Structure 1
């Protein structure tokens, strides 16, 4: 199992190693994603997740869409482990709010509870169904996203931008942000640094 997940992180590292930014903060976050994915190693404390909700249809749509994207080789590496990814939805549902657990999911592959581990990092995938709004949320961790598939709108207060596959989105500590999909699903790689333990909350 570890070798299959390592193939995914190597594919991520290969792409990210070719990327950079003139923005100091974005450039540093890109290098962190590269280092975290390149240095990932099997986690001796990893316990395979119990059966998780089935997001196979949404993931299959995203991987098909990614076939012609700059991250096609990453999608190809994900396919063999698609049934092993520990998908979950981590937000509690408050009375009167929509339960998004069947439309949004996260799967960590590098981190304290992941199949792999790297120093000072969490890395995994965010998956969203088409026509889904991921409400405004924030967390102390610095977060870098790399879009694998989909053309979602990424929102922060006063900002809305559609980011294509191969594009990066940086969220600084405590920065409110949200995402909205249209006709396509969204599959994106996230990398956290800084405070890895305090969870994200809806605002």
Structure 2
């Protein structure tokens, strides 16, 4: 049986989330992490956590399509095994183990047309769920970001997107305002400019979630803020 809107595409060959239990478990662990993490008394953070959980629930209930492209690596993924091993010593271990189970399918990329010098060796991200898959949805974007030791991720902001990072291993600082260790969450409301620095001794692995209007999620452009003269 063929899809007449997409000639040559076999409908029966389409795979769903229920066909890949490891991806379903990964989404469940992310959901549970957002359920159990403290909001620190912040109404805005609590609302964001709830929005992430509700979006994940919709993705799972819809039994979203799963589409795999060829896995891709970047120089920084040489640090991935260390980051995963370190994460097993932390309370984030259930999520770390779920990441391990799908790591061979991850597509690590930069997301920027022009990557600052040196960042091409110290940073990459991989989407888990979103308009580009592997779990296809317009409800939310979930993914992982990996930093090498000593990485500085330049200042940037997201238009119309609420973003959170969950530190899975290593330690990072945002805008030099506190240190985030495994099990902690960073929340960035829309338009909030943020810059990330990483410990010089260990890589850092973070999970992230983007929540916003569907058109914003589908067309978000990743651009670093220019330094003012």
Structure with larger Rg: 2
Structure 1: how far apart are the matches of 2:186 and 2:24? 24
How many residues are matched? 198
Aligned to 2:198: 181
Q: What pairs with 1:4-15 in structure 2 (closer than 5 Å)?
A: 4-15=22-33
> What stretches of structure 2 of length at least 5 have no aligned partner?
1-18
Aligned to 1:122: 141
Is 2:90 aligned against 1:72?
no
Taking structure 1 as the reference length, what is the TM-score of the superposition?
0.88
Structure 2: how far apart are the matches of 1:99 and 1:56? 14
Taking structure 2 as the reference length, what is the TM-score of the superposition?
0.78
2:69 to 48, 54, 57: 48
Question: In the TM superposition, what whole-angstrom CA distance separates every residue of 1:36-66 from its partner, at most 9, and x where no partner exists?
Answer: 3344345437342454436443111111111
SS in 1 for 2:65: coil
> What stretches of structure 1 of length at least 5 have no aligned partner?
none
1:160 to 160, 177, 190: 177
Is 2:211 aligned against 1:193?
yes
Pick which of 14-23 and 122-131 moved more: 14-23
Structure with the higher fraction of residues in helix conformation: 2
Aligned to 1:101: 120
Pick which of 17-26 and 135-144 moved more: 17-26
- 1:123 to partner: Cα distance: 0.7
Structure 1: how far apart are the matches of 2:207 and 2:72? 22
Structure 2: how far apart are the matches of 1:36 and 1:130? 32
1:32 to 40, 45, 51: 51
